Chain A
Amino acid sequence: VLMVVGSPLPRLRTLLQRCWGRMERGLWPGVLGGQSPPWGPALAVQGPALVPQGINDAGESSVEVPSLLGSIVWMAAPKQRRTIEVNRCRRRHPSKLIEIKRNIDVCPECGNLKQKHVLCGYCYAKVKEETRLVRVEIHKKEGGPFNAPTVETVVLYEGEQPTEKDEGKRIIERARKRPSWFVQN
């Protein structure tokens, strides 16, 4: 008989425990509808008709339903140990494996590996460093915050002169030779 009891009132709980105890000991045969034990004639019996209280208390103390958090709840648990074959089938299923990347190429500039749709990490780091140094020069020229110029800017390296296209532009000088990948327009 499955019994799911939430967290009932304490009186109800003790009543249920007593009924359960009585059923288990066969003192309440009418509940399950099974066989009733042979009863002798009530009139001829000298002993008490009702069960004495002493047995009840003794029985109750022995039948202590260990209730966790004051409730009886059945929880799901695995019945059998999963074998290693079954475990392997689940763990190695294609949907759980890491996908193979087929979009890795070699960067034609530096030879490092890169993904086809992503910039090369090495080349980008190179460009990032150079932009940082250019921005340091810009900051030195501007002198302070919120001094954005109202003219275009051009970056010139060592030994370069501004051409006629660079008329009216702000000149930022970098103290090094022009890198091969930064083509002057």
Chain B
Amino acid sequence: MRLSVAAAISHGRVYRRFGLSPRSRLDLLRNLVTALVRHERIETPWARADEMRGYAERLIDYAKRGDKDERAMRMADFWLTEKDLIHKLFKVLAPRFQPHPGSYTRLLQIPNRDGLDRAKMAVIELKGNPLPPLVRPRRDSEKTLLNQLLKGYRQDAQRAAAP
């Protein structure tokens, strides 16, 4: 029975490694969460956005408890380095997301960064933000071949059913 962990095996580890140390990783993610709450849409490497998403959504869950809650206020105080955003979190974002049970953020991949590293980039935004929309919801068009064939089939069935 293996009692010690061998080096370079990371089965089941969920947290990615960022920065210089675990504390540095938290600071990095904290900066990203602050930026997201301030600007409501940020563009960052995909791994960082994915990691940050969980923390941001849990912060909003804490904010939904209300600002009288001691733990919620301590969480917001730690995670938002710019203290005017604490007001925005409790007064704007918490009411905005009150009807939703979860998934307050949208993560979309964008083309790789233009620099030398060609990093996989993503844009993460809070739902319901006032900025121009990234993706338009497409309705399926009547004019596609499949829809035209299905329409014809439906009409034939109706004609056959109604003599």
**B-chain residues with CB within 8 Å of residue A115 when the two chains form the complex:** 111
Tell me how far the C-beta of A138 lies from the nearest C-beta in chain B, rounded to whole angstroms: 9
Q: Is the CB of B133 within 8 A of A181?
A: yes
Distance between Cα atoms of A98 and B130 in the complex (Å): 42
Write the A140-160 contact mask toward B (1 if CB under 8 angstroms, else 0).
000000111111111100000
Distance between Cα atoms of A106 and B64 in the complex (Å): 41
Closest 6 CB pairs of A and B: A150-B91, A153-B130, A121-B111, A148-B88, A182-B132, A130-B132
**B-chain residues with CB within 8 Å of residue A121 when the two chains form the complex:** 110-111
Classify chain B's interface size. 20 to 34
Other than A119-B109, A148-B82, give 20 A-B pairs with Cβ distance below 8 A.
A108-B138, A118-B110, A118-B111, A119-B108, A119-B111, A119-B134, A127-B134, A130-B132, A134-B130, A134-B131, A146-B83, A148-B84, A148-B88, A149-B92, A150-B91, A151-B92, A152-B96, A154-B130, A172-B130, A183-B136
Write the A155-185 contact mask toward B (1 if CB under 8 angstroms, else 0).
1000000000000000010000001011100
B151 at the interface (CB under 8 A from A): no
Tell me how far the C-beta of A171 lies from the nearest C-beta in chain B, rounded to whole angstroms: 10
Tell me how far the C-beta of A158 lies from the nearest C-beta in chain B, rounded to whole angstroms: 15
Please tell me the number of chain A residues within 8 Å of chain B, measured between CB atoms: 29
Write the B75-97 contact mask toward A (1 if CB under 8 angstroms, else 0).
00000001111011001100010
Number of A-B contacts (CB under 8 A): 67
A74 at the interface (CB under 8 A from B): no
B71 at the interface (CB under 8 A from A): no
Distance between Cα atoms of A125 and B105 in the complex (Å): 21
Distance between Cα atoms of A179 and B43 in the complex (Å): 22
Q: Is the CB of B84 within 8 A of A131?
A: no
**A-chain residues with CB within 8 Å of residue B84 when the two chains form the complex:** 146-148
